[in-house]
Structure 1
Amino acid sequence: MTEVACDIYQAVFTVDENVRFLNAIRGIADACGTHIILFDADRLAGRTHVEAALRHARRSWAGGEAIANSIEMEALLYAAGTRQCQVAASFGIHPGENRSYIAVCPPAPGVRDRLAGLVTFVDGDWDGIDPAKRARLSDLFAITPEEVAVVGEARFRDLVLERVALLDVYR
């Protein structure tokens, strides 16, 4: 997967069983000749976080330096800022109600219509980081109050994106 564009959607859906749901997603991706990556919106610092994870994953994949054996898991590893697949998997789907960014790379005709059978697409601004989400992201990415004090509250998202980029350093 080289530098290709991705369509990124926001959706909500319920997962009864992860493997079954992911098999249905994989079936759609295979039928349409694309990759579909599901990111847990509640564990991400917005759309720019998704874009950064996709960009880094594409670069490592194209350069033959991928950690994972699929571009989907590679993108989740970058989203989580870790080399641990088990941790990265928690940045994908989970049983129960999900709020997800869905990346379709490359864009493919008919994918959105097929996905609509499994998910409900939603509009709205998911980029906000309220105090509860800030606390969750601070825990997930080991961001200290001292770091936030240095860069300022307004640049909190940049600290998360730095963790995504740092995965390249920890190879």
Structure 2
Amino acid sequence: MAEPACDIYQAVFTVDENIRFLNKIRAIADECKTHIILFDADRLAGHEHVKAALRHAWRSWTGGEPIANSIEMEALLYAAGSRQCQVAASFGIHPGENRTYIAVCPPASGVRDCLARLVTFADGNWEEIGPEKRKRLADLFGITAEEVAVVGEARFRDLVLERVALLDVYR
């Protein structure tokens, strides 16, 4: 089965309470007949990380052997490279200020306008992995200095994406 097309947006917003905010997102997804998945941009290695998580989640979901009970949580599990829902949830939204990749799968007419009532879409390049983010990602994904030395600093993102793919092996 073909992988779904997804629109991926960058957005910023403030969350007072996760459940209430997610219920609003779920209502928009239901109204627009799509799935909306929110990824914490500060815990991801850019758009390729989002795409890899979505690709693996879709394969798992359509293959009949998902880990989670929703495609949204399945995608967060892959983004986190973990089978633990509590770990995966930390890769979604959190109370306070959020910088988020929003995946809309499949793309849906009017969804961006509906989301604009809750979020501010952001332009700009979120792909850079500076020293602070590199340390955070290394800690989150268990990437050692030795691994980075072997592949080189320029391929750090590949090490994160490898952790996403390894979740299939650990099933």
TM-score normalised by structure 2 residue count: 0.99
> Corresponding residue for 2:166?
166
> Corresponding residue for 1:146?
146
> Corresponding residue for 2:108?
108
> Corresponding residue for 1:41?
41
Q: How far, CA to CA, are the matches of 1:65 and 1:129 in structure 2?
A: 33
> Corresponding residue for 1:60?
60
Alpha-carbon offset, residue 102 of structure 1: 0.1
Aligned alpha-carbon RMSD (Å): 0.8
> Corresponding residue for 1:8?
8
Q: How far, CA to CA, are the matches of 1:32 and 1:121 in structure 2?
A: 18
> Corresponding residue for 1:133?
133
Give the AA of the match of 1:17: E
Secondary structure, counterpart of 1:93 in structure 2: coil
Q: How far, CA to CA, are the matches of 1:50 and 1:41 in structure 2?
A: 9
Per-residue CA deviation, residues 127-167 of structure 1 (Å, 9 max, x unaligned), is 00000000000000000000000000000000000000000
Alpha-carbon offset, residue 2 of structure 1: 5.2
The alignment status of 1:97 with 2:97, answered yes or no, reads: yes
Q: How far, CA to CA, are the matches of 1:49 and 1:34 in structure 2?
A: 21
The count of corresponding residues between Structure 1 and Structure 2 is 171
Q: How far, CA to CA, are the matches of 1:170 and 1:9 in structure 2?
A: 30
Secondary structure, counterpart of 1:69 in structure 2: coil
> Corresponding residue for 1:87?
87
The alignment status of 1:120 with 2:120, answered yes or no, reads: yes
Q: How far, CA to CA, are the matches of 1:2 and 1:40 in structure 2?
A: 26
Per-residue CA deviation, residues 73-115 of structure 1 (Å, 9 max, x unaligned), is 0000000000000000000000000000000000000000000
Alpha-carbon offset, residue 10 of structure 1: 0.1
Structure 1 unaligned regions, length at least 5: none
Secondary structure, counterpart of 1:117 in structure 2: coil
Secondary structure, counterpart of 1:168 in structure 2: helix
Secondary structure, counterpart of 1:82 in structure 2: coil
Q: How far, CA to CA, are the matches of 1:78 and 1:10 in structure 2?
A: 19
The alignment status of 1:51 with 2:51, answered yes or no, reads: yes
Percent identity between matched residues is: 84
TM-score normalised by structure 1 residue count: 0.99
Give the AA of the match of 2:43: R
Q: Which runs of 4+ in 1 moved over 4 A?
A: none
Give the AA of the match of 1:154: A
